[in-house]
Amino acid sequence: MGSDAVARAPAGGAAGAALRVPAALVRHDTLIDRELSLLDFNRRVLALAVRPDVPVLERLRYLAIVAGNLDEFFEIRVAGLRGALRSNVPPPGMSLHEARVQYARVGEAAHALVAEQYHVLNASVLPALRERGIRLKRNEDRTPAERAFVDAYFEREVRPLLTPIGLDPAQPFPPIASKTLNFVVELSGRDAFGRDTSIAIVKAPRVLPRVIRLPAEVAGDGTTFVLLSSAIHAHLADLFPGREIVGYSQFRVTRDADLWIDEEEVKNLRQALAGELRARQFGAPLRLEVAAGCPEHLVHLLATQFELTAQEVYRCDGPVNLRRLASLIDQVDGDEHKWPPFVPGRPARLAGAPDILAAIRQHDVLLHHPYESFDPVVDFIRQAADDPDVVAVKQTVYRIGESSALMEALIAAARRGKEVTVVVELLARFDEEANINWSERLEREGAQVVYGVFGLKTHAKLALLLRRERDAGGGTRLVPYAHLGTGNYHPRTTRLYSDFGLLTADPEICADVNEVFLHVTSLARPSRLKRLLLAPFTMHRRIVEMIRREARHAREGRAARIVAKMNGLVEEQVIRALYAASEAGVSIDLVVRGACALRPGVPGMSANIRVRSILGRFLEHHRVWMFENGGQRDVWLASADWMGRNLFRRIEVAFPVRDPQLGERVVDEGLRIYLEDDCDAWTLHADGSWTRATPAPGARRHSAQMQLLERLREHAGDG
């Protein structure tokens, strides 16, 4: 295939509102600030919430997704910055002054994003919902019948669970867990004991739903909801009989959620982690959210209590936790206002193949999720559990969720006496509890559970089974089969995230997969791998080498092209290698979903580099690399982004797609189609701003996700 086999992005139609990042916000001339880039990513997600071509309930979902992303941004990214400032130890590569400036700029950008969130909610999403008969009503907007229902609900379900806390010297400010809904109330007069106690705290019960649907006989036509916070607001006075409420506000505090485990002190990681999970709810405060109308003296009281500055207080023109609005979506009857459902397809190479191992023996099988079903991967492990000739199963687990057919299959294999080894990453952020529970169940059934390498998250997505088979001479030998993927073995994300998976019996790849398992479980240095790249050992060096190889090809007049897709690009050595390749004449197209520190299109530095981001129905998650290599094209799939954490602080694997037909599929479905997208694509400019691409007037729109969905999903009547 020639170097022009991957089409470039369309040149025309760069329109739409630009997301501008002032030049002052660029950390220095060559790199864009990672934290500001992450916030810009969330602005691109938020843009989906105002697109008229997106179903209205999905617009609400994107709004909730941004809120959840912001929670994690504060819990992890802002927590790191603030912790560095508190300890007077700046992040690597920064002075303390630069860290302070960065923290202030991140705060400014976060405030702007939060204001934009609530504007989208109030000016766009809620009106669009009302037009379709879906109403979220405040107390003053409710009919008498609706108020009566809320009154009864409050008395029956809410009031018995509330415990207002009046503050006095005997009762100091109560502990407030991270991201919980609370109310601060200012009261007039004296309490029952004749004292001037004017402040009370009311915690909203965690066990109650935050979004309550009113019965049809109460709400009439359409679908009507009220928020728990609104129901409590309407009845705050009932909690303090004999006293007048002078002022009040809902509030929410976000705390540092990063876990810290001392390698020298810990004896049992699982036990230590369980203790840290309990403490996570009460980490250092980072952000205080209050209602937009909260009286200033109450804001000051809360900020002082949590030791936060005025810049760390966020006023919210609506509910303080927009993430909880996502629960409204599933309470609306029907799918009319959601993305239309679809049935994932099945790869042609598995058509009519009840024995999945027999099919893999014939040829490698490529899976493209969510357009193609994840069921073959589950069948792969289930067959291992059921097949008496399979003697061993090994698998890595990063994110798996609370319910997993795949994990149940591993447990079944252990029960049947197979040698089952599972590498569980206990420190998979916000999935720690589920992973602990699965590891305990696996151990009870006799599986060997390993927690990887302390200090290095095991992020590789690998499964291996060994089957005893007869050879040509009539004897037996152990034959390996493997699954390698770019995404997690998680039942929910396989329906929402774009990822590639490869089922293979390639002896060299399978041997390398087994070496990776031996390395992680034994902690011995890995043997030299023939096909795979392994972080933190060889991956970074090989990526830089392959980029430099393209530069040599360009200087020598041979075909030179790099096209790569990933979630994040911030590793400085890789970026500098890309800059050098651009100057050597290499044509470089990058599809980066989230944070991107590379500045494209700068004359004399990155003039030949183009960067785009795709945001649509599905979360873009696969990592695909294509190096033209003088016409001998190399195609790679990986679990790793081009970020320092992936390349130096995690166990990650990249694997080649050796089957030419499947390699062409990966290039077509994972790269080319995304470079042609003019519907869900955004283009990054040299000044750090993003603009949404649009088709030329009269031209047909190209959405990569919609085209893949049409091409790969199961079609009725297709047989």
3-state SS class at 423 = strand
Using alpha carbons, select from 360, 399, 394 the residue that is nearest to residue 376: 360
Return the CA Rg of the chain: 27
- Lookup: tokens for 81: 């910055």
Contact criterion met (CB below 8 Å) for 384 and 393: yes
Burial of 336-368, coded b for 16+ CB within 10 Å and e otherwise, reads ebeeeeeebbbbebbeebeebbebbeeebbbbb
For residues 159 and 235, give the distance between their C-alpha atoms in angstroms, rounded to a whole number. 9
Burial of 380-416, coded b for 16+ CB within 10 Å and e otherwise, reads bbbbbbebeebebbbbbbbbbbeebebbbbbbbbbeb
Measured between its terminal Cα atoms, the distance across the chain in Å is: 33
Contact criterion met (CB below 8 Å) for 480 and 536: no
Which amino acid does the sequence have at 268?
N
For residues 150 and 143, give the distance between their C-alpha atoms in angstroms, rounded to a whole number. 11
For residues 257 and 253, give the distance between their C-alpha atoms in angstroms, rounded to a whole number. 12
**Helix residue spans in 7-161 (DSSP H):** 34-48, 56-72, 79-86, 96-120, 126-131, 144-153
Instruction: Identify the sign of the CA torsion 247, 196, 199, 311.
Output: positive
Using alpha carbons, select from 699, 549, 682 the residue that is nearest to residue 611: 682
For residues 719 and 717, give the distance between their C-alpha atoms in angstroms, rounded to a whole number. 5
Which residues, in sequence order, are bridge partners of residue 184?
Answer: 201, 249
3-state SS class at 464 = strand
H or E, element range at 324: none
- Dihedral angle computed from the Cα positions of residues 396, 400, 403 and 407, in that order, rounded to the nearest 10 degrees: -10
Which residues, in sequence order, are bridge partners of residue 589?
Answer: 563, 610
For residues 654 and 637, give the distance between their C-alpha atoms in angstroms, rounded to a whole number. 6
Q: Does residue 300 carry a catalytic annotation?
A: no
Asked if omega into 164 is within 30° of 0 (cis), the reply is no
Using alpha carbons, select from 230, 248, 249 the residue that is nearest to residue 187: 248
Using alpha carbons, select from 606, 633, 579 the residue that is nearest to residue 4: 633
Asked if omega into 370 is within 30° of 0 (cis), the reply is yes
For residues 408 and 612, give the distance between their C-alpha atoms in angstroms, rounded to a whole number. 39
**What secondary structure, in 3-state letters, does 238-285 show?**
HHCCCCCEEEEEEEEEEECCCCCCCCCCCCCHHHHHHHHHHHHCCCCE
Contact criterion met (CB below 8 Å) for 80 and 91: yes
For residues 394 and 410, give the distance between their C-alpha atoms in angstroms, rounded to a whole number. 9
Phi, psi of 50 (to 5 degrees): -115, 5
Q: Considering 337, 368, 369, 459, which one is annotated as catalytic?
A: 459
**The residue to which tokens 């019960």 are assigned:** 205
Pairing assessment for the beta strands 313-316 and 223-227 based on DSSP bridges: unpaired
* Residues annotated as part of the active site: 459
